[in-house]
A and B are shown apart, each in its own frame.
Chain A
Amino acid sequence: MKLYCLSGHPTLPCNVLKFKSTTIMLDCGLDTTSVLNFLPLPLVHSPRLSKLPSWVSKDGTINLEKELKECAGRVFVDSQPEFCLPERELLDLSTVDVILVSNYHCMMALPYITEHTGFTGTVYATEPTLQIGRLLMEELVTFMERVPKAQSATCWKNKEIQRMLPGPLKDAVDVWTWKRSYSMQEVNSALSKVQLVGYSQKVELFGAVQVSPLSSGYSLGSSNWIIQSHHEKVSYVSGSSLLTTHPQPMDQSSLKNSDVLILTGLTQMPTANPDGMLGEFCSNLAMTIRAGGNVLVPCYSSGVIYDLLECLYQFIDNANLGTTPFYFISPVANSSLEFSQIFAEWLCHNKQSKVYLPEPPFPHAELIQTNKLKHYSSIHGDFSSEFRQPCVVFTGHPSLRFGDVVHFMELWGKSSLNTIIFTEPDFSYLDALAPYQPLAMKCVYCPIDTRLNFHQVSKLLKEVQPLHVVCPEQYTQPPQSQAHRSDLMLELHPPPMPYRRCSVLNLPFRRRYERVYILPELANSLVPSEIKPGVSLATVSAVLHSKDNKHTLQRLHAIPNVPKKRKRVPEEPPVLLGPKPLLSGAVPLEAFLATLQKHGITEVKVEETADGHILHLQAEDTLIQLEEDGTHIVCDNNEPLRTTLRDLVLRFLQRL
């Protein structure tokens, strides 16, 4: 059993598990942090961005004037942004049988894997994961295709040149494998391979392995996965949360008794308390609005935004913000808001019971109805005429490199009245802001990451007690910036097995048993005998059938001797593969003598030896050597007698 690790990003994992005869990919995360090295894609022409100077190395030897621009001391690639894909050389991805997706953030690399590697398998995901995942992909494609960039920079990737560049470009790994965004056609084709599953649904893979998604509590339809056979169990924990937000609570008990637990997707903000951050978010928002400024919230179009809107729903009136317009701008804003209302089955209990009334589970329905929240597909069209300030705008992408957010950065960045509030934890806010420097607008960083923190995860592991834990190497040491915080790492016994990009781990499994089914006819023919109180034995000779990884035992029917045409010896030799049962027990002298007597063998001379007795059957000139752990019958030229003696000895022994 092996684990191939194709991504080094702990929250955007991509691992491949070889389990019995199946090859299972666990998640398909796309590392988007690579886009921070690129210049933003403005929706409308930005004089500032277009006037940025080209970067030239100090000695003037490298001059990639078309590809590299400099802003406030940092160098950016002027090209369509590119993503860091999961490793594709470590194993042949066409051999992957299934892909299990745990949540919509962890499936963004799916089209790269399913479309260009010869993949012919099935992808399993829950319905909300599929639908919202589709929205996020659609949004990404729209963001990119809306502002086509003619140039695709490649020269900077030359190893010799990259070496000379300033950081962080210099340290970026595998830049040659970075890829531009996929197309909508590729998205549709990839998603057509998805098969929907419900929580706790048991899906059989080739009869060998059963996989089952469990609620993970992190987002709509998010799941952890159990991969098990009758005797082995692997738990895959990815992006889980124990906080009460909108999704169904995490199913912890089903993770018990795992041989191996693969742990990914812990919080990226181990020191930030989500509730505290939410409070800070609200107060900063209110402060800015009261001072006449605008608030910009870069965010994904599904997920935490639902909780932010719900929080604001309660906060707006108390804070006297009833007249402030809230805008949600994304190509999929409407769909995201609508979809959130139809997945009652996947929501927490409180929200679930709302639909029984029947009322929409999320209060943003009311915000929309009362015109407090308006959604637009982009800044073009209706928005430009209806837009009023001061206002609050939720829009993507959180990297600030593409999407409508770029426009608002250019528009509001120069005024210190405005505030940008970061809530998504995926990008460092300083890196995100780098190409906009110098900036007058206020920046507030309140990342909300509801995923498990180290305290919660160690408690969870204590409860579910896996034999072994596998995790990204980042979790086995404290974060670089807080090297003294030994509470910000996993401390386990036995220690967790760490992995990094391109690791191949041998999972410590000792498979000892396999499931086999005894067919009724054979079961009825078995003769069990009790050898100890509560323990019975039966010898089984049967025909083994193995089909689709399922083994059955069928009754052995004597194979009729087919007469052969050629001349044969009078008697056929016995079947080669007859049963070879072992014997157990001992033959007690007195009882055996009595039995012999009963069968007319009376002239027996008994001689004592070091290990037992020798019985001399004088009339028949036959010896029987009786010992504690063996019996030896020496009998010449009298086959009927020999078989009789054999059967008499067997009466005292147990066949196994």
Chain B
Amino acid sequence: MPEIKVTPLGAGQDVGRSCILVSIGGKNIMLDCGMHMGYNDDRRFPDFSYITQNGRLTEFLDCVIISHFHLDHCGALPFMSEMVGYDGPIYMTHPTKAICPILLEDFRKITVDKKGETNFFTSQMIKDCMKKVVPLNLHQTVQVDDELEIKAYYAGHVLGAAMVHIKVGSESVVYTGDYNMTPDRHLGAAWIDKCRPDLLISESTYATTIRDSKRCRERDFLKKVHESIERGGKVLIPVFALGRAQELCILLETFWERMNLKAPIYFSTGLTEKANHYYKLFITWTNQKIRKTFVQRNMFEFKHIKAFDRSYADNPGPMVVFATPGMLHAGQSLQIFKKWAGNEKNMVIMPGYCVQGTIGHKILNGQRKLEMEGRSTLDVKLQVEYMSFSAHADAKGIMQLIRMAEPRNMLLVHGEAVKMEFLKGKIEQEFSIDCHMPANGETVAVTTNPSVPVDISLNLLKREMALGGPLPDPKKPRTMHGTLIMKENSLKLVSSEQALKELGLNEHQLRFTCRVQLQDPHSDSDTLHRIYTHLKSVLKGYTIQHLPDGTVMVESIVIKVSSCAEDANTKVLLLSWSYQDEDLGSFLSTLLKKGLPSGLC
């Protein structure tokens, strides 16, 4: 039985460094190649030595597919392609291709320039890596090679996020990456057609959460920001430069406009301008409303939001600052946090998920004393708020996607083990399909049961269809008989006659002749007629003919009558049939041996 094998190198019962290996129909595919925010050592990247102990990965992988630009999905890409070694194709959508190198460069700068790490990928490596990227368009079927094809669907999570459908022959896998089933202020909802894959690999970040309506969360968020500003506090919102940041900016921008607020809103890093530019150029990837109105008013041109300078952090008075990165694990957001943490008037709002090990994760878990580098400690006095704005599907959304795609098997990644366990139970119960949740390095094999595509000769098909009556009736099965010719890689189903002809074989006729004696005191022709009447009553639905040359034909079986030389009342019946009518011939000879019933006229 063919199998699809899946091994997560990262994101198996975990969030971070997504990297999933899939083997399908003899092809090996790497899905995502991310880094882990919670680690600063080797565990930061997936363990590529699983694929091979020595040397490059090119000959072991047919392609690499990146679902979106978040670093936990693409952060290890230059390391993998340039330092471990991979020269094959890397697929990602246009927006991902545009934004991914910028985030990688940012990540590199923080790691190498600020933390002073060596043995890390260089700017040149990022450039070389991006040269291997082949851009994907939505719904375009890309032929990786003769057998492997991939197709991207809209995933909604961030600009350019995609789900991919991977197909080899009649086997298929869908990988969701991160996705969102409800449209938000700047992106649309994920969508996939009823593609019935053998396996659906889904993220499960919010496996146990059913989130309240987006409107409520937005109102809550605005209320908290507003209150803090009113009492003169400073609000820090750690974000990633692209994605949630734009959504929250649109939200605050419209609120400031409506409430006529004057407190400044800043956006850290030089990325803002650029980031918003990407949104303008890739407007076709945003939601319906923004796309419809972009000619009149571009939602990504902000009036109230200004660029941030480091010195502003010490300015007196209220302000709102968006700073990167989103989990407070490094960079500007961490610096501002340290400055503001001591004042209880201030507030930090974490708008997304935080990976274990990051400061974001620690303060969300209520930790009030943080150990910093150089053995100092930091007292956290400011208010800590968590608002789930990260655009992942919740449990309801995941179930909705399963209903859309109708997979035969399910596999969960990108979530916490306990939560996965719960969702797995729900899925198995509701859909009666197997659901897997392998840990990193653990392999799951899913058996598939593909049908075999065959070319049937149109003559044979039409003949069989005609037998079933003029209109096809799905309830009435039609039997068909033919010969399957297997030659090289082709499978052809033809009628037996055509098979003989095509292969240059001679036909061998096998015939049987059988004499049956019968007591019947009538003339020969009367006896023949009596046989005809008898068979007519026994064999319903058969073609029975009384021919003028003194024979009865049942289908292709010939019956003749002659009188015995000695006794005119003893008749000799001659039955002759071919092998093709063997069943009927055998039946008739046995039947006629029993004689004719008396009541016949």
Give chain A interface residues in 307-364, CB to chain B under 8 Å: 334-335, 338-339, 341-345, 352, 355-356, 358, 360-361
Known A-B contacts A127-B284, A538-B483; A356 and B478 likewise in contact (beta carbons under 8 Å): no
Question: What residues of chain B lie closer than 8 Å to A334, measured between beta carbons?
Answer: 295
Question: What residues of chain A lie closer than 8 Å to B135, measured between beta carbons?
Answer: 345, 352
B484 touches A513 (CB 8 A): no
The residue of chain A having its C-beta at the shortest distance from the C-beta of B543 within the complex is A576
Q: Check: B539 CB closer than 8 A to any chain A CB.
A: yes
Give chain A interface residues in 586-635, CB to chain B under 8 Å: 586-587, 628-635
A581 touches B142 (CB 8 A): no
Question: What residues of chain A lie closer than 8 Å to B139, measured between beta carbons?
Answer: 197-198, 201
Q: Check: B488 CB closer than 8 A to any chain A CB.
A: yes
The residue of chain B having its C-beta at the shortest distance from the C-beta of A532 within the complex is B503
Question: What residues of chain A lie closer than 8 Å to B277, measured between beta carbons?
Answer: 358
Q: Check: B260 CB closer than 8 A to any chain A CB.
A: no
Give chain A interface residues in 483-534, CB to chain B under 8 Å: 511-520, 523, 526, 528, 531-532, 534
Shortest distance between the CB of A616 and any CB in chain B (Å): 14
B456 touches A635 (CB 8 A): no
Known A-B contacts A231-B455, A520-B451, A631-B510; A537 and B484 likewise in contact (beta carbons under 8 Å): yes
B451 touches A552 (CB 8 A): yes
B583 touches A198 (CB 8 A): no
CA–CA, A341 and B295, complex, Å: 11
Shortest distance between the CB of A215 and any CB in chain B (Å): 10
Q: Check: B457 CB closer than 8 A to any chain A CB.
A: yes
Question: What residues of chain A lie closer than 8 Å to B483, measured between beta carbons?
Answer: 537-540, 656
Binary flags per residue of B489-530, CB closer than 8 Å to A gives 1, else 0:
000110011011001011111111111110000000000000
Q: Check: A44 CB closer than 8 A to any chain B CB.
A: no
Shortest distance between the CB of A328 and any CB in chain B (Å): 15
Partner-contacting stretch, out of B80-88, B415-423, B559-567, B584-592: B584-592
Known A-B contacts A535-B486, A537-B499, A539-B483; A585 and B294 likewise in contact (beta carbons under 8 Å): no
Q: Check: A551 CB closer than 8 A to any chain B CB.
A: yes
A546 touches B506 (CB 8 A): no
Question: What residues of chain A lie closer than 8 Å to B251, measured between beta carbons?
Answer: none
Q: Check: A150 CB closer than 8 A to any chain B CB.
A: no
A518 touches B505 (CB 8 A): no
B514 touches A635 (CB 8 A): yes
A539 touches B509 (CB 8 A): no
A582 touches B451 (CB 8 A): no
The residue of chain B having its C-beta at the shortest distance from the C-beta of A552 within the complex is B451
B484 touches A515 (CB 8 A): no
Binary flags per residue of B149-171, CB closer than 8 Å to A gives 1, else 0:
00100000000000000000000
Question: What residues of chain B lie closer than 8 Å to A581, measured between beta carbons?
Answer: 481, 496, 580
Tell me the count of chain A residues lying within 8 A, CB to CB, of chain B. Answer: 95
The residue of chain A having its C-beta at the shortest distance from the C-beta of B283 within the complex is A342
B580 touches A355 (CB 8 A): no
B477 touches A582 (CB 8 A): no
CA–CA, A105 and B527, complex, Å: 82
Binary flags per residue of A181-207, CB closer than 8 Å to B gives 1, else 0:
000000000000000011111100000
A543 touches B274 (CB 8 A): no
Shortest distance between the CB of B342 and any CB in chain A (Å): 39
Question: What residues of chain A lie closer than 8 Å to B512, measured between beta carbons?
Answer: 632-635, 642, 646
B454 touches A518 (CB 8 A): yes
Q: Among B142, B486, B506, B516, point to the contact of A629 (Cβ < 8 A).
A: B506
The residue of chain B having its C-beta at the shortest distance from the C-beta of A201 within the complex is B139
CA–CA, A656 and B484, complex, Å: 9
CA–CA, A628 and B507, complex, Å: 10
Shortest distance between the CB of A475 and any CB in chain B (Å): 31
B509 touches A629 (CB 8 A): yes
B295 touches A230 (CB 8 A): no
CA–CA, A621 and B324, complex, Å: 102
CA–CA, A541 and B484, complex, Å: 10
B584 touches A573 (CB 8 A): yes
CA–CA, A554 and B477, complex, Å: 10
Shortest distance between the CB of B53 and any CB in chain A (Å): 36
CA–CA, A526 and B456, complex, Å: 16
Question: What residues of chain A lie closer than 8 Å to B590, measured between beta carbons?
Answer: 571, 639
Question: What residues of chain A lie closer than 8 Å to B496, measured between beta carbons?
Answer: 539, 580-582, 656
A515 touches B451 (CB 8 A): no
Q: Check: A636 CB closer than 8 A to any chain B CB.
A: yes
Question: What residues of chain A lie closer than 8 Å to B542, measured between beta carbons?
Answer: 573, 576
The residue of chain A having its C-beta at the shortest distance from the C-beta of B505 within the complex is A584
A574 touches B587 (CB 8 A): yes
Question: What residues of chain B lie closer than 8 Å to A629, measured between beta carbons?
Answer: 506-509
A356 touches B97 (CB 8 A): yes
Q: Check: A411 CB closer than 8 A to any chain B CB.
A: no
CA–CA, A512 and B456, complex, Å: 8
CA–CA, A212 and B590, complex, Å: 61
CA–CA, A201 and B465, complex, Å: 32
Q: Check: B25 CB closer than 8 A to any chain A CB.
A: no
Q: Among B468, B479, B505, B506, point to the contact of A542 (Cβ < 8 A).
A: B479
A574 touches B294 (CB 8 A): no
Q: Check: B183 CB closer than 8 A to any chain A CB.
A: no
CA–CA, A571 and B137, complex, Å: 66
Shortest distance between the CB of A551 and any CB in chain B (Å): 7
CA–CA, A646 and B512, complex, Å: 9
Q: Among A360, A514, A526, A634, point to the contact of B455 (Cβ < 8 A).
A: A514
The residue of chain A having its C-beta at the shortest distance from the C-beta of B143 within the complex is A200
Shortest distance between the CB of B359 and any CB in chain A (Å): 31
Known A-B contacts A538-B483, A539-B483; A545 and B493 likewise in contact (beta carbons under 8 Å): no
A631 touches B461 (CB 8 A): no
Q: Check: B582 CB closer than 8 A to any chain A CB.
A: yes
Q: Among B480, B541, B586, point to the contact of A576 (Cβ < 8 A).
A: B541
B486 touches A537 (CB 8 A): yes
Give chain B interface residues in 91-112, CB to chain A under 8 Å: 94, 97-98
A513 touches B458 (CB 8 A): yes
Most buried by B among A127, A513, A546, A629: A513
B141 touches A200 (CB 8 A): yes
Question: What residues of chain A lie closer than 8 Å to B587, measured between beta carbons?
Answer: 571, 573-574
The residue of chain B having its C-beta at the shortest distance from the C-beta of A356 within the complex is B98
Known A-B contacts A531-B503, A571-B587, A636-B515; A520 and B481 likewise in contact (beta carbons under 8 Å): no
Q: Check: A547 CB closer than 8 A to any chain B CB.
A: yes
Q: Among B281, B482, B508, point to the contact of A584 (Cβ < 8 A).
A: B508
Q: Among B138, B482, B517, B579, point to the contact of A198 (Cβ < 8 A).
A: B138
A656 touches B499 (CB 8 A): yes
Q: Check: B209 CB closer than 8 A to any chain A CB.
A: no
Shortest distance between the CB of A546 and any CB in chain B (Å): 5
Known A-B contacts A200-B142, A585-B508; A355 and B282 likewise in contact (beta carbons under 8 Å): yes
Give chain B interface residues in 119-161, CB to chain A under 8 Å: 135, 137-142, 151
The residue of chain B having its C-beta at the shortest distance from the C-beta of A632 within the complex is B511
Shortest distance between the CB of A23 and any CB in chain B (Å): 20
Question: What residues of chain B lie closer than 8 Å to A127, measured between beta carbons?
Answer: 284
The residue of chain A having its C-beta at the shortest distance from the C-beta of B478 within the complex is A544
B477 touches A634 (CB 8 A): no
CA–CA, A649 and B505, complex, Å: 18
Known A-B contacts A516-B454, A534-B487, A573-B587; A341 and B281 likewise in contact (beta carbons under 8 Å): yes
CA–CA, A356 and B126, complex, Å: 14
A540 touches B481 (CB 8 A): yes
Q: Check: B26 CB closer than 8 A to any chain A CB.
A: no
Question: What residues of chain B lie closer than 8 Å to A511, measured between beta carbons?
Answer: 458
Q: Among B479, B486, B510, point to the contact of A544 (Cβ < 8 A).
A: B479
9 contacting pairs across A/B (C-beta < 8 A): A514-B455, A520-B449, A537-B499, A580-B496, A581-B580, A582-B580, A636-B514, A636-B516, A637-B517
Closest 9 CB pairs of A and B: A630-B509, A574-B583, A517-B451, A582-B496, A513-B455, A580-B580, A656-B496, A516-B456, A543-B477
Known: A201-B139, A345-B284, A520-B449. 7 other contacts (CB 8 A): A212-B141, A513-B456, A536-B487, A582-B580, A583-B509, A586-B506, A639-B586
